[in-house]
Amino acid sequence: MRLLVTGGAGFIGSHIVEAAVARGWEVRILDSLDPAVHPDRPQGIPGAHLTAGDVGDPAAVAEALAEVDVVVHQSAKVGLGVDFSDAPDYIRNNDLATAVLLSGMASAGVGKLVLASSMVVYGEGAYTDAAGRLVRPGPRLVEDLEHGIFDPRDPATGELLLPALVSEDAAMDPRNVYAASKVAQENLASAWARATGGTAVALRYHNVYGPRMPKNTPYAGVASLFRSALARGEAVRVFEDGGQRRSFVHVRDVAEANLLAIDALAGGRMASGSLRAYNIGASEVHTIGQVAAILSSVSGAPEPVATGGFRLGDVRHITASSARAQAELGWIPAQGFEDGMREFATAPLRGDHS
């Protein structure tokens, strides 16, 4: 098996590369090695060939695709960013670069793709009313948020809704530039598959954490931001009441999901000319407040502070049903939440010089 992993020197990509090499696969990495993401230039991963290059560069892509069986596309600008001025950079790195990659795959005759997508494509997660009926919430009301009412309401009745697990059949509802770029990536991959007869898998990552997360950047995940606060000797400050529900998943489980998706593609178990999406997140539900509490406890820090503050556009609850990934890919997360978070509390982060 010969793989091209874009962004393979990054947080998730490097774990995928290590797992693939351990299987005896031939792995090529194409990564821009952007200093903003890699403050210390990576030295490469044993057993894999690393090329510094931009996925948006057709020449670099054409060279990297030579004699490749499967492309694992991890390269992207992630997170919510600083403000809307980030929009052009998100579109260039996520959507234009994906279009260049897919064009190169079409020219090279490479017909198998695993795409790193995200839970952000859904916007808010799934909710039900008191009778158990699925209800699509509207935007949360400012007056509710100001009074500490953080759960969304039923647009028809005004009653507070109850969170549920979101499935891959839920409507996409991107609520920020990053989310819009991930929806566009999926649509581009789907169009490529239809046009070329290729086969694509989109893995919609939920809250991924683990060793080598980036730190001290506006694009880092919430667990990494908590780690950075603790390293500064500060109590962790949590938006709202800390009750925001998420599906936290360890990066090694995410790497395994990618390998299982590759197995499914290589084994001909996916329909050609189409894209199939999978949630990749632990079905057990935890809150952002619980993450803050575990990391604070392991660090010997004061208890976290729920500020009651809020940011308009933030998602209240989004938790994954990974039943499809379990049934079709055989993927079951192996890392438990508490043990994984305790490991993460002292794990090395990208850009950590301590």
- pLDDT by residue for the chain (354 residues), tens only, comes to 999 999 999 999 999 999 999 999 999 999 998 866 676 667 778 999 999 999 999 999 999 999 999 999 999 988 766 678 889 999 999 999 999 999 999 999 999 999 999 999 999 899 999 999 999 998 899 999 999 999 999 999 999 999 999 999 999 999 889 999 999 999 999 999 999 999 999 999 999 999 998 876 655 578 888 998 898 889 999 999 999 999 999 999 999 999 999 999 999 999 999 999 999 998 789 999 999 999 999 999 999 999 999 988 788 999 999 999 999 999 999 999 999 999 999 998 876 644
- Residue 69 to residue 194: CA distance in whole angstroms: 19
Please indicate, yes or no, whether the overall pTM of this predicted structure exceeds 0.75. Answer: yes
202 pairs with which residues across the strands? 115, 277
- Residue 241 to residue 289: CA distance in whole angstroms: 8
Tokens representing 195?
A: 């046009």
Tokens representing 315?
A: 């998602």
Let me know if 311 is exposed, middle or buried by CB neighbors in 10 A (0-12, 13-18, 19+): exposed
Handedness of CA 52, 99, 253, 262 (dihedral sign): negative
Give 78-101 as a 3 state SS string.
CCCCCCHHHHHHHHHHHHHHHHHH
